[in-house]
Amino acid sequence: MESAKLIAGLARIVRDVGVAEELAQDALVAALEQWPRSGVPDNPGAWLMAASKHRAIDHFRRLAMLDRKHQELGRELDTHRETAVAELHAAIDNDIGDDLLRLIFTACHPVLSPEARVAMTLRLLGGLTTDEVARAFLIPEKTIAQRIVRAKRTLTEARVPFEIPRGEGRAQRLASVLEVIYLIFNEGYSATSGADWMRPALCEEALRLGRVLAQLMPQEPEVHGLEALMEIQASRSRARVSHSGEPVLLLDQDRSRWDQLLIHRGLAALHRAEQLSARCGPYTLQAAIAACHARAQTAEQTDWHRIVEIYTELSRVTPSAIIDLNRSVAVAMAEGPAAGLALVNQIESSGKLQGYHLLPSVRGDFLHKLGRLEEARAEFERAASLTRNTVERKLLLARAAECGSASSRTEPR
């Protein structure tokens, strides 16, 4: 958090995220060198900001000296330098909240690709090293490093202002910010590839960013909706893995292992979101679905009809084939697997989720419940061939084998 605050405060003054990050790192290095000898100061954050401020002043002085050497430093530039230095001296007294908010909006600017926004957010706001970001997404460190360098260069070349946008621009940028944070959370909650079912560190970083954003933007309902969604989903983390390390699906989880503190936080955030707006946005609606699960003491007590209603509204607000697929699961639970299968068949016929492993996985589950075991086995095997996650592939193949065994037992002799 101190690193993010330093970068945010400096970026507002030097107008360059890359330079701000370098100056902040210099101050943190100075702390690592001096604090073991002098002790940790009473106010570490103020010490770091003061150290960063002095380094920023030196930075401007070096620029001024370089300009003089090239005979390009005129009277107007002198005035600009003096003004910038004066602003730096005053920066320590400014509200850091606005600076952090500016940094979040800058890191998630639409001029950057979604991949670059994620890398920048984790690097600048999450405090992860380049190596940690690379390992989190199973991407070579060199690739992530190049992505971050290009992102900083893009922001500088595009002259992206270090500001909180207003009006329609703010709404568009906020959507990007929320998308990036939830993308980080989802990658931690259900890893898309690799040998791990979950990556808890990413969930924790996304949760922290969501909580920071909720404090900085208390009047934005979708900010609280996203926080609610992540809090409630994160509450299930311990129950999603068995004691032997095997994945456990939602309906099979031991709900006594759900984190009640996170559920309480999530329900409170959902209440704030619903109070701020009569018309719920996509994150608030998804949080409402998660709340239905959280409020049910057992899987059998889940209000599936209510979940179907919320998914119907969510599909209207944000049309998506994936939402339709999730709705089909709720319909199957409320009305039976045949009703769910009919919806899945429609999605498959549309071709919208071709290559998406959860489509045959869901279809296989419905077929299994209907007793069509050979068809179910084929669907689970198809799903296993499409996923890039080792643990998920193992789970799907196990379900396929189970269908095969059950089918052989029921065949007439």
pLDDT, residue 80, reads: 52
pLDDT (0 to 100) of residue 410: 58
pLDDT in tens, 216-225: 889 999 999 9
Tell me what the mean pLDDT of segment 171-186 comes to: 87
Residue 76 reports pLDDT greater than 70:
no
Cβ atoms of 249 and 329 within 8 Å: the answer is no
Stretch 368-393: mean pLDDT: 93
Angle, CA 55 vertex, CA 96 and CA 10 arms, to 5°? 25
Contact (CB, 8 A) for 300 and 333? no
247: DSSP letter: B
For residue 77, the model assigns a pLDDT of 46
Compare 14 and 250 and report the one with higher pLDDT: 250
pLDDT at 47 exceeding the cut of 80: yes
pLDDT of residue 114: 86
Q: Identify the three-state secondary structure at position 306.
A: helix
pLDDT over 60 (residue 83): no
Q: 92: pLDDT confidence band, cut at 50, 70 and 90?
A: very low
Distance CA 30, CA 66 (A): 25
The tens digit of pLDDT for each residue in 316-375 reads: 999 999 999 999 999 999 999 999 999 999 999 999 898 899 999 999 999 999 999 999
Q: How far apart are CA 204 and CA 51, in angstroms?
A: 29
Among 168, 180, 173, 165, residue whose Cα is nearest residue 210? 180
The model's confidence at residue 82, banded by pLDDT at 50, 70 and 90, is: low
pLDDT (tens digit per residue) in 113-139: 988 998 888 888 777 778 878 876 768
Please indicate, yes or no, whether the overall pTM of this predicted structure exceeds 0.85: no
Question: Counting runs of H as helices and runs of E as strands, what totals does the chain give?
Answer: 19, 2
What would the pLDDT profile of 93-117 be if each residue is shown by its tens digit?
A: 444 457 878 888 888 888 899 889 9
Give the pLDDT mean for 155-159.
89
Give the pLDDT confidence score for residue 151 in this predicted structure. Answer: 92
Q: Please write the tens of the pLDDT for every residue from 228-274.
A: 999 999 999 999 988 877 889 899 999 999 999 999 999 999 999 99
The two structure tokens encoding residue 268? 């409170």
Residues 198-219 pLDDT 10s:
788 888 888 988 998 998 889 9
pLDDT of residue 93: 42
Q: How many CB atoms lie within 10 A of CB 97?
A: 14
Supply the mean pLDDT for the chain.
85
Average pLDDT over every residue of 189-195: 74
Backbone phi, psi, residue 278, to 5°: -75, -25
